Structure 1
Amino acid sequence: MITITAATGQYGRLVVDELFQRGVPASGIVATVRDPAKAADLVGAGNYVTWADLLVRICQTSRAASRSEAACRS
């Protein structure tokens, strides 16, 4: 499993795309994002998406891009 932090950012997105081009299956990529809403396409592609604010704590969204930051903190 490969974890990409800032997967919806400029460079993180490039890394995810490159991994797909190199044949890494979506199930082998963990996309860590600050805003799950921006990762809807990654979830749709079958990636495991986690929400993380490295200044707070890491919270798994378990493939649910609609899960909010507030829900993770509760």
Structure 2
Amino acid sequence: HEVTFGYCRKVKEGLPCWKVLDCWFELFPVEDFVREHYTEEQRERFLARPKPKILSLVELIEQARAAKSEEEQGSDSSQS
């Protein structure tokens, strides 16, 4: 199936996919389009290569552990 450019422009928090330049450069001057339609900060956000999934999972696990630890410490201090 075909993926439209419109779809590619809205996949990441309303911003384009990080591969938008790679996928569309042969069809039209996508780099010019991106430069004209997005701020430098937006371009930096969506053109940044995503973290590997395993790293994201490890970070989520660490956050959950930290939240649980804080929760347990909070309940310990309330019992004293």
Greater relative contact order: 1 or 2 (C-alpha under 8 angstroms, separation 6 or more)? 1
TM-score normalised by L of structure 1 = 0.30
Q: TM-score w.r.t. structure 2 length?
A: 0.29
Structure with the higher helix share, 1 or 2: 2
Tell which structure's C-alpha radius of gyration is larger.
2
Of Structure 1 and Structure 2, the greater strand share is in 1
